[in-house]
Amino acid sequence: MRSKKMTGGLEKAPHRSLMHALGLTREEISRPLVGVCNAANEVVPGHIHLDTIAEAAKAGVRLAGGVPLEFPAIAVCDGLAMNHEGMSFSLPSRENIADSVEIMASAHPFDALVLIPNCDKCVPGMLMAMLRLNIPAIMVSGGPMFAGASGKADLITVFEAVGKVRRGEMDEEELAKLEACACPGCGSCAGMFTANTMNCLAETIGLALPGNGTIPAPTAERVRLAKTAGMKVMELLAQDLKPRDIVTAKSVENAVAVDMALGGSTNTVLHLPAVFAEAGLPLTLSIFDQVSRRTPNLCKLSPAGAHHIEDLHRAGGIPAVMSRLAEKNLLHLDVATATGRTLGENLADLGAKVLEPEVIRPADAPYSKEGGIAILYGSLAPEGAVVKQAAVAPAMMQREGVAKVFNSEEEAVTTILNGGIAAGDVVVIRYEGPRGGPGMREMLTPTSAIAGMGLGGEVALITDGRFSGGTRGAAIGHVSPEAADGGPIALVQTGDRIKIDIPARTLDLLVDAPELARRARNLVKPEKHIRSPLLRRYSRLVRSAAQGAVYKEEE
């Protein structure tokens, strides 16, 4: 056992003495030691109940003969961090979480790990750590929040209501009532936003058990799942089945295919490459586009449609989505999973089928023949840009408009809410990329403001920053190279024309090459004083969004 490095032999008597100080008996010290990383805190609604999940997981470990040892992880609530300097710290927290799990599981050589995240950067951070450490491990998330206001509202409803108040469609008393009921309790926000997308994909790639992505947070079913995960990790240990045995090149394609079928968050284009890179598996933007072109979009979950994660769960969950894709030979069913069985065996054991076809459409009658995410290239984005095409109105799929340029999110939001954006405009927000932000802030506030102002079907937003999984509309992010690296987005001027053609996968700045060359020679970047030592370090180390915004290779 790996833990014998810490507990075995005469010379480890001092170590055992410290473990006795924890209250452990000699019998417990001799058993497999399982690290349980619990991201519970009293700040993030998705994490406020994770102590309950951790206790269930630890009970499962004990039932199967192991000894659980709990340690913490941080988590940022992107909703609370939105539209102020706090959002700069959200994406960097992913690397911090991965590093901290590595530190704890290396300094204290556990035999196996159970990882308990729920929200946006915590899930990919823990997945990265699992693959980096490559010891038997399983993930069990805290699960999704129920939708609020009798199943009709979620956090995005409130964000968009701000714009409705500004345009007089809703008064502040109505907004206050909505605030109080849109998020009714614990769990990750109720739509197919980033946290829920990543929890569903953790299940898809086999590092979490079936049900991980969709079982609602406040239910006994979620507690039972956690208990089962604790028992299952002991089986993985006995089989010596490790994360890199489970995650292969075939798993990469499966993850992207399910992401496209779900119409998941554009942030997966950042997180999946970062996760798979830890296993030495490349995932480029071109793979996303190739899989998107052949994978039908089967679900319209909030923000793209009216359904929420609880509806997806009732419809059969991720196994039902995968059964639809399997019918069309769009999945590799021979891949290993954390159940100890192959994906195909799991689907057969579960009798996976769609229970509500209005939630998960047949592959022959999808919402669209292509997946939920598209990758665009062109003179404005030579290295690529990302759009959730499943959430774009048909009229905005092809559009030429006039640029209104802003060097920060705050500038843009002020102008939008003050009525300074009109139908046909293309809002360009730059210097918000991984380096330039720094931290690649989410642009949920401006996109929600555009929707709330009634312009969602008339105005596009383009940025080198990123979007919340809750963003809808013609919101094109991750424009690479970013402005801070001298990308073409730095050269756009208010009044320029921009052409968007999502079906053709193009994004072009309609300014001739000599003029762009002149602008490049005269480019003056806005000064940005970064006070935080962490963000200064991040800005120096981070790579392009097109490469998952991971850290640069060691030189």
Name the 3-class secondary structure at 170: coil
Using an 8 Å Cβ cutoff, are 544 and 480 in contact? yes
Q: Strand 460-463 and strand 374-378: pairing?
A: unpaired
pLDDT at 554: 62
Q: Checking phi first, is residue 317 left (phi over 0); if not, alpha (psi -120 to 50) or beta?
A: left
How many other C-beta atoms are found inside a 10 Å radius of the C-beta of residue 240? Answer: 9
> Taking Cα atoms as reference points, which of 335, 319, 318 lies closest to residue 262?
318
Identity of the residue numbered 432: E
- Whole-angstrom CA distances from 428 to 171, 416, 455, 463 are 30, 12, 15, 6
Classify strands 497-501 and 398-406 as parallel, antiparallel or unpaired. antiparallel
Neighbours of 349 (CB within 10 A): 12
Q: Are 105 and 6 in contact (CB under 8 A)?
A: no
How far is residue 337 from each of residues 111, 137, 205, 502, measured CA to CA in Å?
19, 11, 7, 35
* Closest of 363, 442, 348 to residue 90, by C-alpha: 442
Q: Which residues of the chain have pLDDT under 70?
A: 554-555
Residue 61 tokens, joined = 């470990």
Do the beta carbons of residue 134 and residue 244 sit within 8 Å? yes
Q: List residues bridging with 477 in a β-sheet.
A: 386
Rounded Cα distance, 135 and 114, in Å: 11
- Paired tokens of 306: 């009216």
Are the CB atoms for 421 and 410 separated by under 8 Å? no
- Rounded Cα–Cα distance for residues 399 and 501 (Å): 7
What would the pLDDT profile of 417-430 be if each residue is shown by its tens digit? 999 999 999 999 99
Note if the bond before 303 is cis, omega within 30 degrees.
yes
Give the integer Cα–Cα distance in Å for 551 and 534: 13
- In this predicted model, what pLDDT tens digit does every residue of 206-221 receive, in sequence order? 999 999 999 999 999 9
Asked if 509 and 380 count as a contact pair (C-beta separation under 8 A), the reply is: yes
What is the chain's Cα-based Rg? 23
Token code pair at residue 165: 């108040």
Query: Which amino acid, residue 55?
Result: E
Integer Cα distance of 325 and 51 in angstroms: 35
Question: pLDDT tens-digit profile of 476-531?
Answer: 999 999 999 999 999 999 999 999 999 999 999 999 999 999 999 999 999 888 99
Q: Rounded to two decimals, what is the model's pTM?
A: 0.95
The string of DSSP letters for 463-479 reads ESSB--TT--SSEEEEE
Buried b (16+ CB within 10 A) or exposed e, 183-203: bbebbbbbbbbbbbbbbbbbb
CA distance 439 to 86: 10
Cβ atoms of 395 and 410 within 8 Å: the answer is no
**Paired residues of 386 in beta bridges:** 375, 477
Supply 421's token pair.
């954006």
Residue 77 sits at the vertex; the CA angle it makes with 104 and 119, to the nearest 5 degrees, is 60
Torsion of CA 288, 290, 296, 299, to 10 degrees: 10
In 348-488, DSSP assigns E strands to: 374-378, 381-387, 398-406, 425-429, 460-463, 475-480
* H or E stretch at 291: helix 285-294
* Residues labelled as active-site residues: 468
